[in-house]
A and B are shown apart, each in its own frame.
Chain A
Amino acid sequence: MIHVENLTKYYDSFCAVDQINIEINKGEILGLLGPNGAGKTTTLKMLTGYFKPSTGTIHVNDYNIEDHPLEIKQMIGYLPESSPFYKDMLVYDYLEYVSKIKGITPSDRHPRLRYLADLCGLSHIMHKAIGELSKGLNQRVGLAHAMMSDPEILILDEPTQGLDPNQIVEIRHIIKKIGQEKTVIFSTHILSEAEATCDRIIIINRGKIVADGNTADLKQSADQKTTIQLSLLNAETESVQNALSAIEGIDNVEPISRTDDGILKVKAYSSSPVDLRENIYKTIKSTDWVIIEFLQEAKTLETIFRDLTRQIN
Chain B
Amino acid sequence: MWQFTHILKKELKDYFISPIAYIVISIFLIITGWFFFSTFFLYDQANMRGFFSLLPIIFSFVIPAITMRLFAEEFNIGSYEILQTMPVTFSDIIFGKFAAGFVMTGAMLLPTLAYPVSIAFIGDLDWGPVIGGYLGALLLGGTFSAIGVFASALTHNQIIAFILGAAICFVLTLVDKMLFFFPESILNIIEYLGADFHFRNVARGIIDSRDLIYFISVIFISLYSTYLALLKKE
Nearest residue, chain A, Cβ from B73: A86
Minimal Cβ-Cβ distance residue in A for B17? A88
Chain B 1-47 residues near chain A, CB threshold 8 A = 3, 6-7, 9-10, 13-14, 17-18
The interface stretch among B81-89, B168-176, B184-192 is: B81-89
- A86 and B79 contact, CB distance less than 8 A: yes
For B124, what are the chain A residues with a Cβ–Cβ distance below 8 Å?
Answer: none
Contacts A84-B78, A86-B79, A93-B13 given; does A73 touch B86 at CB 8 Å: yes
Instruction: Mark each residue of chain A from 44 to 57: 1 if its CB lies under 8 Å from any CB of chain B, else 0.
Output: 01001111100000
Complex: A265 Cα to B86 Cα, angstroms: 56
Q: Which of B64-110 contact A (CB under 8 A)?
A: 77-79, 81-82, 84-89
Cβ–Cβ contact B84 & A97, under 8 A: no
- Could you say which of A50, A70, A93 contacts B87, with CB atoms under 8 Å apart? A70
Contact (Cβ within 8 A) B234 A51: yes
A101: chain B residues at CB < 8 Å are: 3, 6-7, 86-88
A102 to chain B minimum Cβ distance, whole angstroms, is 6
> Of A73, A85, A87, A103, which one neighbours B85 at CB under 8 angstroms?
A73
Within 8 A of B (CB), among A57-82: 70, 73-74, 76, 78, 80, 82
CB of A40 within 8 Å of the partner chain: no
Cβ contact within 8 Å between B82 and A85 = yes
**CB neighbours of A80 from chain B (8 A):** 78, 81-82, 85
Count A-side interface residues using an 8 Å CB cutoff: 27
Q: Which of B6, B14, B85 contacts A86 (CB 8 A)?
A: B14
Task: Closest A residue to B92 by CB, please name it.
Answer: A101
Instruction: Say whether A98 faces chain B, with CB atoms less than 8 Å apart.
Output: yes
Size range of the interface on B? 20 to 34
Bound Cα distance A39, B69 (Å): 31
Q: Quick one: closest B residue to A145, CB to CB?
A: B82
Instruction: Give B201 Cβ to nearest chain A Cβ, in Å.
Output: 40
* Contact A78-B79, Cβ < 8 Å, known A88-B17, A97-B6: no
Interface residues of A in 141-176 (CB under 8 A from B): 145
A51 proximity list for chain B (CB < 8 A): 234
| Complexed CA–CA distance, A93 and B85 (Å) | 19
How far, in Å, is B142 (CB) from chain A's closest CB?
24
**Cβ < 8 Å to B, chain A residues 120-148:** 145
Interface contact B14-A50, CB-CB below 8 Å: no
Query: By the criterion CB–CB under 8 Å, are B87 and A85 in contact?
Result: no
Q: Chain A interface (Cβ within 8 Å of chain B)? A: 45, 48-52, 70, 73-74, 76, 78, 80, 82, 84-89, 93, 97-98, 100-103, 145
